[in-house]
Structure 1
Amino acid sequence: MNPTKSLLGLFASLSLSACSSVPAGMGNQVNACAGQDSLRMVDYFEPMPMGQQNAEVWGAAGVLPRDIANGLESAKAQPEWNYWDGKIIKGPEGKYHLFASRWSGDLTHYDWSKSIAVHAVSDSPKGPYQNPQPFFSDRDGLGHNITGGVLPDGRYYVVASDAGRAGDVFISDTIDGEFELQGTVTMEANGQDLEHAGANVSIIVRPDDTFMLVSRPGIVMLSDDIMGPYVAQGPSIWPTVEGYDNSKAEDPIVWYSGGLYHITLNWWNIRKARHLVSRNGIDNWVDTGIAYDPRLGFEYTDGSKNTWSLLERPGVLVENGHVTHFTFSALDVNKWDDMGNDAHGSKVLVVPFDGKCFDRALDAALP
């Protein structure tokens, strides 16, 4: 029995009336706190604030004009860099630190394996994130699928799990210091198939200071130490949904907010992502439906919209116990159309999110 699909009927009965009317665009927020308790993550994205709107930079028509001060990008007619990934961590000085990856704009999108991990800083979650620089020296900074967080002892960790890395952990005493490679996480299968488990690794610290890892196969793993061993808790939790091929699922991220464990995962072949939620983070995962879909677009506060071709590798900023912003790797065209030395590219996009209302609606509906 699929551990997620078995709960879908119950969840549907709880949420049928709440989901009877949903908006067409991701910028049209459903205000759960006002009684419209949608259970779909996609309905809680908020309009992006206006900023440095510019139509003279790279990008397909659907992403122009856009705020070039949002997130991290090379704001030129032809991008100097392609930016990807994106995890925001708030530093002790009150600034926001973005950990991401980049590779030369002279290269195609499929040269992402040559990317370097970078760290940039902003006074605001939205950005602009300034002066992106490599932050570890191992293999000249080579790294992709960058994520991270804060350890129980106050140190900072970053994980890289692509570009020849399979869950490499880097740690620094300070958020703006040199991060040192600690090694690659270890895993114990506990009877499960861990093929591709070193790809798309997402690690969080649980409230009890243990560690939770989820990666491409969708197997929840727990450890007492950041380096492992991470022990599989059961079979894959990826839902069985008609029209979705789980061999194409990727980019899971896990977070804890509002007393709940959350995961989003993306199906690259159909460009749709779904959201799962659990009270204990181990079992009884519930599929709440669409998490994000690039075709819906993201609105600005003036009602204008940018529609990206691809949204991948999301990240979350949790403040005061709830998600306030999502980051996305945003590409303006299909991957095979970004050929390098052209007017196409990718950036780290930051989108406001009403995580407090989302968590409240889910908590009220979950059994």
Structure 2
Amino acid sequence: MKKTLLTALVLSGAAFAQGKTLIDYFQPMEPQGPLVSEGIWGDPNVLPRDIQNGLEDSTLENWCYWDGAIVKANDGRYHMYASCWSQTNSHSTGWKVESKGMHAVADHPIGPYKHIGLAWPKWQEGKGHNVIGLRMHDGRYAMVTSELTSGEVFVSDSPDGPFKLLGYIQVDYNGFNPFLARYQKNGRMANVQILLRPDGRYMLVARSTAIMISESGILGPYKIMTDRVYNDMPEVPKKKMEDPSVWYSGGLYHMIVNYHIDNVTHHLTSEDGIHNWTYRGIAFRNDIDFFKYTDGTVNHWPIVQRMTVFVENGHPTHFLFSVIDSRKGEDGPNDKNGSKIVIVPFDGEAFDADMQRIVEAEKKAAQ
């Protein structure tokens, strides 16, 4: 009897793992307002759309948006910390030269988000990219910037700021290649994500996906604990990988990492967030009707990057996507093309329950 039950558990877990991956838990977007085609920017492939979803300047009077992470404050509002640049720049000039850290707020996780202002306007005129936000273990709010800068952390007692420079992220290379943490040429960090672990430590993942752990606070030093976590995974390309994002839910540490050539994002898990990372399949791919509304309307964004995850009440509930309506290089200054942040709902409770069943079945099979 026990052998029969074990076999059933293992087979059901294996069948699920083969037939269903993270991408299957995304849900249609409920419009926060009417779907709009007239008087807004965008190629036909992203029209009509909900301009109240996420963060966008629908008339391109001021800003293009990128990056982004959501933090829910004690007042019940949802604060998005992201980057922006003037629409008078092309996309490539905007993010490489003019990107600035900013803050927006909404009453609902999907939006609409209202642009409040630059987060640290007196520090290098607000310069920042790969911007994320999080709540620190001591309750303060933090914003992190990398790519254009060295890896700075700004903090505030209030989600509305003002945010002041706390310091620079420090790394203990721990015998590993320093380039797992920083660019070879300029020494900057990139794609930094910081996660508050349940054990009270901070976990940092940058572009390489190497796991770094701090025992001493948000600035570190972060000790490099691993090489690239996907090195032994044949399913994951070994080049052109970027934009890792991490979260903890359902008793597992999760990571998604993007192969930006094809806009395909892969999903990995680990029980302790350091060892035994396991490939779990596709998290996102851009060759399907992904950005779908509840009425069946679909938007096709040619460029989709910088996925981040919002976790509420212990489960991932929404994913953020930085999107452009044209190919990179086609988004010029003062034209009809732009970028924004789209938010897609996610059935995190079902996802976490199914992932727990998979892991339990794998453990039983190993025994």
| TM-score bin (small chain) | 0.7 to 0.9
Q: Which of 53, 56, 61 is the equivalent residue of 1:70?
A: 53
Name 1:45's counterpart in structure 2: 26
Is residue 2:205 matched to residue 1:214? yes
Is this contact kept in 1: 2:250–2:355, CA < 8 A? no
Name 1:3's counterpart in structure 2: none
Is this contact kept in 2: 1:82–1:104, CA < 8 A? yes
Is this contact kept in 2: 1:47–1:300, CA < 8 A? yes
Is this contact kept in 2: 1:239–1:287, CA < 8 A? no
Q: Structure 1: how far apart are the matches of 2:83 and 2:133?
A: 13
Name 1:103's counterpart in structure 2: 85
Is this contact kept in 2: 1:79–1:345, CA < 8 A? no
Is this contact kept in 2: 1:85–1:100, CA < 8 A? yes
Are the structure 2 counterparts of residues 212 and 328 from structure 1 closer, same or farther at C-alpha, using a change threshold of 3 Å?
same
**CA apart distance, 1:16:** 4.1
Q: Which of 215, 221, 246 is the equivalent residue of 1:229?
A: 221
Q: Structure 2: how far apart are the matches of 1:109 and 1:170?
A: 25
**CA apart distance, 1:115:** 0.8
Q: Structure 2: how far apart are the matches of 1:187 and 1:283?
A: 19
5+ long unaligned stretches in structure 1: 1-11, 22-37
SS at match of 1:195: helix
**CA apart distance, 1:309:** 0.8
Name 1:251's counterpart in structure 2: 243
Is residue 2:112 matched to residue 1:128? yes
Q: TM-score, normalised by structure 1?
A: 0.88
Q: Which has the higher contact order (CA 8 A, sep 6+)?
A: 1
Name 1:61's counterpart in structure 2: 44
Name 2:263's counterpart in structure 1: 271
The percentage of aligned residue pairs carrying the same residue is 42
**CA apart distance, 1:80:** 3.0
Is residue 2:141 matched to residue 1:143? no
Q: Which of 137, 143, 154 is the equivalent residue of 1:158?
A: 143
Is this contact kept in 2: 1:331–1:345, CA < 8 A? yes
SS at match of 2:41: coil
Name 1:7's counterpart in structure 2: none
Name 2:71's counterpart in structure 1: 89
Look up the equivalent residue of 2:77 and give its one-letter code: K
Is this contact kept in 1: 2:236–2:266, CA < 8 A? no
* CA deviation map 1:108-159 (0-9, x unaligned): 1101121111101111111110133111131111001011211111101111
Name 1:304's counterpart in structure 2: 297
Q: Structure 1: how far apart are the matches of 2:18 and 2:201?
A: 39
Is this contact kept in 2: 1:233–1:282, CA < 8 A? yes
Matching of residues 288-367 of structure 1 within 5 Å: 288-296=280-288, 297-366=290-359, 367=363
RMSD: 1.7
Alignment length (residue pairs)? 337
Look up the equivalent residue of 1:61 and give its one-letter code: P
**CA apart distance, 1:270:** 1.9
Question: Which is higher, the Rg of structure 1 or of structure 2?
Answer: 2
Is this contact kept in 1: 2:80–2:133, CA < 8 A? no
Are the structure 2 counterparts of residues 13 and 346 from structure 1 closer, same or farther at C-alpha, using a change threshold of 3 Å?
farther
Are the structure 2 counterparts of residues 14 and 201 from structure 1 closer, same or farther at C-alpha, using a change threshold of 3 Å?
farther
